A and B are shown apart, each in its own frame.
Chain A
Amino acid sequence: MTTAEATEPGHAGHGDDATPREKFRSVTRDIAWVAEMPKPPKAWYVALGFALILLAMFAVSIYHVITTGIGEWGNNNAQGWAWPITNFVFWVGIGHAGTLISAVLYLFRQHWRTSIARSSEAMTIFAVMCAGIFPIIHTGRPWFAWWMIPHPNDMQMWPQFRSPLMWDVFAISTYATTSVLFWFMGMVPDLATFRDRSKSKVKQVIYGILALGWRGSARQWHRYERAYLILAALATPLVLSVHSVVSFDFATSQLAGWHTTIFPPYFVAGAIFSGFAMVMTLLVPARSLFNLKHIITDAHIEAMCKITLATGTMVGCAYSIEFFIAWYSGNEFEQFTFINRALGPYSWAYFIMVSCNLIFPQLFWIRKVRLNPYAVVGICILVNIGMWFERFVIIVSSLSRSALPSSWHYFVPTKWDIMTLAGSFGLFFTMFLLFFRYLPVIAMSEVKMVSPEAHAGPDDHH
Chain B
Amino acid sequence: MSATHTLHPDEKVKAGKIGGQMAKIGIPLGLVLIVVAYLLGPKDNGARIFQYGYLTAWLFVWSIAVGCLFFVLIHHLSRARWSTVVRRIAENVALTFPLLGLLGLGFILPMLAGNHNLFYWDYFKAQPHEWQHLDHHMVGKGGWLDPNVFAIRYVIYMLIYSGLAWWFAKQSRAQDESGDAKLSERMRIAAGPGTLVFALTTVFAGFDLGMSLSPKWYSTIYSVNIYGGAMIGAYAFLAILTRSIQKTGRLTHSVTTEHYHDLGKLLFGFIFFWAYTAFSQFMLIWYANIPEEIVFYKYRMFTDWTNWSIAVLLGQWLIPYVLLMSRWTKRVLPVFMILAVWCLVFHWVDLYWNVMPNATWGVTHGRVTGPLSGPLETHHVQAVWQSIVIWLGMTAVFVGFVGTRMKGNLVPVKDPMLGPSLGFENY
A322 within 8 A of B: yes
- B220 close to A325 (CB less than 8 A): yes
- Choose the segment among A192-200, A216-224, A244-252, A344-352 that binds chain B (4+ C-beta atoms closer than 8 Å): A244-252
Output the residue of B141, B199, B276 with the most chain A CB within 10 A: B276
- A322 close to B220 (CB less than 8 A): yes
Q: Complex: how many Å from CA A120 to CA B283?
A: 32
The interface bits of chain A over 35-58 (1 if a CB of B lies within 8 angstroms of the residue's CB, else 0) are: 000000000000000000000000
Query: Contact check: which of A240, A365, A459 meets B3 at CB < 8 Å?
Result: A459
Chain B residues positioned under 8 Å from A327 (CB to CB): 140-141
A259 within 8 A of B: yes
B248 within 8 A of A: no
- B3 close to A457 (CB less than 8 A): yes
Query: Contact check: which of A261, A331, A365, A462 meets B221 at CB < 8 Å?
Result: A261
- B1 close to A321 (CB less than 8 A): no
Q: Complex: how many Å from CA A370 to CA B216?
A: 45
A68 within 8 A of B: no
A328 within 8 A of B: yes
The interface bits of chain B over 179-205 (1 if a CB of A lies within 8 angstroms of the residue's CB, else 0) are: 000000000000010001001100100
Query: Contact check: which of B141, B200, B283, B288 meets A328 at CB < 8 Å?
Result: B141
A455 within 8 A of B: yes
Q: Tell me the minimal C-beta distance from B222 to chain A in angstroms.
A: 8
Q: Tell me the minimal C-beta distance from A327 to chain B in angstroms.
A: 8
- In the complex, what residue of chain A is closest to B423 when comparing beta carbons? A459
Q: A254-B290, A325-B218 are in contact. Are A265 and B277 (CB under 8 A)?
A: yes
Chain B residues positioned under 8 Å from A262 (CB to CB): 220-221, 224, 280
Query: Contact check: which of A240, A251, A265, A459 meets B420 at CB < 8 Å?
Result: A459
- A264 close to B276 (CB less than 8 A): yes
- In the complex, what residue of chain B is closest to A108 when comparing beta carbons? B78
The interface bits of chain A over 232-264 (1 if a CB of B lies within 8 angstroms of the residue's CB, else 0) are: 000001001000100010011110000111111
Query: Contact check: which of B222, B224, B272 meets A265 at CB < 8 Å?
Result: B224
B4 within 8 A of A: yes
Contacting residues of chain A (167-188) with chain B, CB-CB under 8 angstroms: none
The interface bits of chain B over 1-45 (1 if a CB of A lies within 8 angstroms of the residue's CB, else 0) are: 111100000000000000000000000000000000000000000
B357 within 8 A of A: no
Query: Contact check: which of B3, B141, B192 meets A330 at CB < 8 Å?
Result: B141
Q: Tell me the minimal C-beta distance from B134 to chain A in angstroms.
A: 13
Query: Contact check: which of B4, B199, B222, B283 meets A317 at CB < 8 Å?
Result: B199
Q: Complex: how many Å from CA A325 to CA B281?
A: 14
Q: A261-B285, A365-B192 are in contact. Are A330 and B216 (CB under 8 A)?
A: yes
Q: Tell me the minimal C-beta distance from A253 to chain B in angstroms.
A: 7
A337 within 8 A of B: no
Q: Tell me the minimal C-beta distance from B419 to chain A in angstroms.
A: 7
Total count of chain A residues near the partner, CB < 8 A: 32
Chain A residues positioned under 8 Å from B137 (CB to CB): 329-331
Q: Complex: how many Å from CA A318 to CA B200?
A: 10
B302 within 8 A of A: no
- B276 close to A240 (CB less than 8 A): yes
Chain A residues positioned under 8 Å from B4 (CB to CB): 457, 459
- In the complex, what residue of chain B is closest to A322 when comparing beta carbons? B220
Query: Contact check: which of A253, A265, A313 meets B280 at CB < 8 Å?
Result: A265
Chain A residues positioned under 8 Å from B283 (CB to CB): 248, 252
- B288 close to A259 (CB less than 8 A): yes
Q: Tell me the minimal C-beta distance from A241 to chain B in angstroms.
A: 9
Chain B residues positioned under 8 Å from A8 (CB to CB): none
Output the residue of B140, B219, B220, B272 with the most chain A CB within 10 A: B220
B138 within 8 A of A: yes
- A264 close to B280 (CB less than 8 A): yes
B328 within 8 A of A: no
- A329 close to B420 (CB less than 8 A): no
Chain B residues positioned under 8 Å from A263 (CB to CB): 280, 284
Q: Tell me the minimal C-beta distance from B7 to chain A in angstroms.
A: 16
Chain A residues positioned under 8 Å from B2 (CB to CB): 460, 462
Query: Contact check: which of B141, B280, B288 meets A254 at CB < 8 Å?
Result: B288
- A261 close to B1 (CB less than 8 A): no
Q: A322-B220, A325-B218, A459-B420 are in contact. Are A330 and B288 (CB under 8 A)?
A: no
- A330 close to B1 (CB less than 8 A): no
B287 within 8 A of A: yes
B136 within 8 A of A: yes
Q: Complex: how many Å from CA A329 to CA B216?
A: 7
- A330 close to B284 (CB less than 8 A): no
The interface bits of chain B over 258-282 (1 if a CB of A lies within 8 angstroms of the residue's CB, else 0) are: 0000000000000010001100110
- B281 close to A459 (CB less than 8 A): no
Query: Contact check: which of A240, A318, A328 meets B144 at CB < 8 Å?
Result: A328
- B288 close to A457 (CB less than 8 A): no
Output the residue of A252, A254, A261 with the most chain B CB within 10 A: A261
Output the residue of B216, B224, B290, B420 with the most chain A CB within 10 A: B224
Contacting residues of chain A (322-375) with chain B, CB-CB under 8 angstroms: 322, 325, 327-331, 365
- B218 close to A313 (CB less than 8 A): no
- A331 close to B220 (CB less than 8 A): no
Q: Tell me the minimal C-beta distance from A34 to chain B in angstroms.
A: 30
The interface bits of chain A over 451-462 (1 if a CB of B lies within 8 angstroms of the residue's CB, else 0) are: 000010101101
Chain B residues positioned under 8 Å from A325 (CB to CB): 218-220
Query: Contact check: which of B1, B277, B287, B420 meets A455 at CB < 8 Å?
Result: B1
Q: Tell me the minimal C-beta distance from A66 to chain B in angstroms.
A: 32
Contacting residues of chain A (295-334) with chain B, CB-CB under 8 angstroms: 313, 317-318, 321-322, 325, 327-331
Q: Tell me the minimal C-beta distance from A449 to chain B in angstroms.
A: 10
B120 within 8 A of A: no
- In the complex, what residue of chain A is closest to B212 when comparing beta carbons? A328
Q: Complex: how many Å from CA A263 to CA B216?
A: 20
B207 within 8 A of A: yes
Q: A328-B144, A459-B419 are in contact. Are A261 and B281 (CB under 8 A)?
A: yes
Chain B residues positioned under 8 Å from A330 (CB to CB): 136-138, 140-141, 216
- B141 close to A252 (CB less than 8 A): no
- B284 close to A460 (CB less than 8 A): no
- B284 close to A259 (CB less than 8 A): yes
Chain B residues positioned under 8 Å from A253 (CB to CB): 288
Q: Tell me the minimal C-beta distance from B112 to chain A in angstroms.
A: 22
Q: Complex: how many Å from CA A259 to CA B3?
A: 50
Chain B residues positioned under 8 Å from A460 (CB to CB): 1-3
Q: Complex: how many Å from CA A49 to CA B122?
A: 68
Q: Complex: how many Å from CA A148 to CA B4?
A: 55
Q: Tell me the minimal C-beta distance from A191 to chain B in angstroms.
A: 27
Chain A residues positioned under 8 Å from B220 (CB to CB): 260-262, 318, 321-322, 325
Q: Which of A's residues lie within 8 Å of B, judged by CB?
A: 237, 240, 244, 248, 251-254, 259-265, 313, 317-318, 321-322, 325, 327-331, 365, 455, 457, 459-460, 462
Since A260-B284, A262-B224, A264-B276 are in contact, a sample of 19 more A-B pairs with Cβ atoms closer than 8 Å, ordered by chain A residue number, is A240-B276, A244-B276, A252-B283, A252-B284, A259-B284, A260-B220, A261-B281, A264-B277, A265-B277, A317-B200, A327-B140, A328-B144, A329-B218, A330-B141, A330-B216, A365-B192, A459-B4, A460-B2, A462-B2
| A-B pairs with beta carbons under 8 Å apart, 23 shown | A244-B280, A251-B284, A252-B284, A252-B288, A253-B288, A259-B288, A261-B219, A262-B221, A262-B224, A263-B284, A264-B280, A264-B284, A313-B196, A318-B220, A321-B220, A322-B220, A325-B219, A325-B220, A327-B140, A328-B218, A329-B218, A330-B141, A460-B1
Q: Which of B's residues lie within 8 Å of A, judged by CB?
A: 1-4, 136-138, 140-141, 144, 192, 196, 199-200, 203, 207, 216, 218-222, 224, 272, 276-277, 280-281, 283-285, 287-288, 290, 292, 419-420
**Closest A-B pairs by Cβ, 3 of them:** A262-B220, A330-B137, A261-B221
